[in-house]
Chains A and B, each alone.
Chain A
Amino acid sequence: MAVDEAIAAISGQQGQLPTVRVYGWRPAAISIGYSQGVRETVDVRKCARLGIPLVRRLTGGRAVFHDEEVTYSVIAGKGCLGSGSSVLEIYKRIGQALVLSLERLGIRACLRRTASRGAEWGGARGLAPCFSSVGRYEVMVGRRKVVGSAQRWIEGAVLQHGSLLIGEGHLQIARLLPHGETDEREKMTQELREKTISLGALLSRQVSYAEVASALFFGFQEALQVRLVPGQLRFEEETVARRLVRERYGRQEWTLRR
């Protein structure tokens, strides 16, 4: 989270071409949306007992259990992700990259413009995790979501995060509901099963992190019409990232502030 924000702050200035990162999470962890109330979302003490870290994202949206998935982040100056510069247009452009990435993996997905987030989910007191809510342009296979994404604009830059499901690790969030009754947890698990599908399930085989990463870079390169080359963090980005960890992402006051 800190690195993505640092890149946005340092390199995501107006007119800056995109930077794309892909990564996994070690250990598996839960990310909370920027404005989410953490205690209303997950059982914080249970997470602690199980050794599951909690981090607050810079992007909005709802809680995500990051396990058996590949996370992407795209950071670019405004105006560099297509001719338009609205939130919706950028969702669409990045969505097109994701559709191309999935096609590369042999999966036929489509972009669907849908209702606002959470509108379709009525369970667990509106605590729908990110993957069960459908809003903006979503990448769908049939009627099921395979990627969850969230976007944030920071001055001259746009940052979009998202996760591609490789397996069913994301379902674990249901057992971490706060004060959740067994019925409620089962209902959430069932709804997540109905509304999401993993790449592994779609391809009926084990899907590796490396092939998903490769497909993502291909899709972003094609859809954004840019030439992507391996890079590394700049000194200034790393300095800002370390400061952000000290002051924000590494502090429980930040994570638990709501």
Chain B
Amino acid sequence: MMDHFVLDFSLTCGNIDFSRMHHPNYSRGDIINPSVRDLVADKVQLVRARGR
């Protein structure tokens, strides 16, 4: 199995920066949950199975 293990850790994929998105339901003054729009998944790595 290890022969097929070809991960490249410099690869970041599937990391959408949601902080850049427009949220019509939020404004800068919103203090209830202010930073959810700035929350991102960090150092994301995604792998998919390609056969057994």
Interface residues of A (CB under 8 A from B): 2-3, 17-27, 29, 44-45, 47-49, 51-55, 71, 76, 209-210, 213-214, 217-218, 220-222, 224-233, 238, 241-242, 245-246, 249-253, 255-256
| Residues of chain B in range 1-52 having any CB-CB distance to chain A below 8 Å | 1-2, 4-9, 11, 13-16, 18, 21, 23-26, 30-52
Question: Is the beta-carbon distance between A227 and B9 smaller than 8 angstroms?
Answer: no
9 other A-B residue contacts (CB within 8 Å) besides A222-B1, A231-B48? A17-B52, A21-B45, A23-B41, A27-B39, A51-B34, A52-B35, A227-B52, A228-B49, A246-B24
Query: A242–B40 Cα gap in the complex (Å)?
Result: 13
Q: Say whether B7 contacts A230, CB under 8 Å.
A: yes
Residue of A20, A21, A48, A245 with highest tally of chain B CB at under 10 A: A21
Interface of B is mostly: loop
- Are B48 and A250 closer than 8 Å at their CB atoms? no
Cα–Cα, bound, A233→B48 (Å) = 10
Using Cβ atoms and an 8 Å threshold, which residues of chain B touch A2? 18
Q: How far is the CA of A220 from the CA of B5 in the complex (A)?
A: 11
Output the least CB separation between B29 and chain A (Å): 12
Interface of chain A, main secondary structure:
mixed
**Interchain nearest-CB distance for A16 vs B (Å):** 9
Residues of B within 8 A of A22 (CB): 43-45
Cβ-defined contact, A231 with B46, below 8 A: yes
Instruction: Please judge, given known A-B contacts A53-B33, A250-B23, whether A230 and B43 are in contact too, CB under 8 Å.
Output: no
Measured CB to CB, the closest approach of chain B to A222, in angstroms, equals 6
Q: Judging by beta carbons under 8 Å apart, are A53 and B14 in contact?
A: no
A–B pairs, 5, beta carbons within 8 Å: A17-B48, A53-B39, A220-B47, A222-B1, A227-B4
Please determine whether A231 and B43 come into contact, CB atoms closer than 8 angstroms: no
Asked whether, in the complex, the Cβ of A213 is within 8 Å of the Cβ of B14, the reply is: no
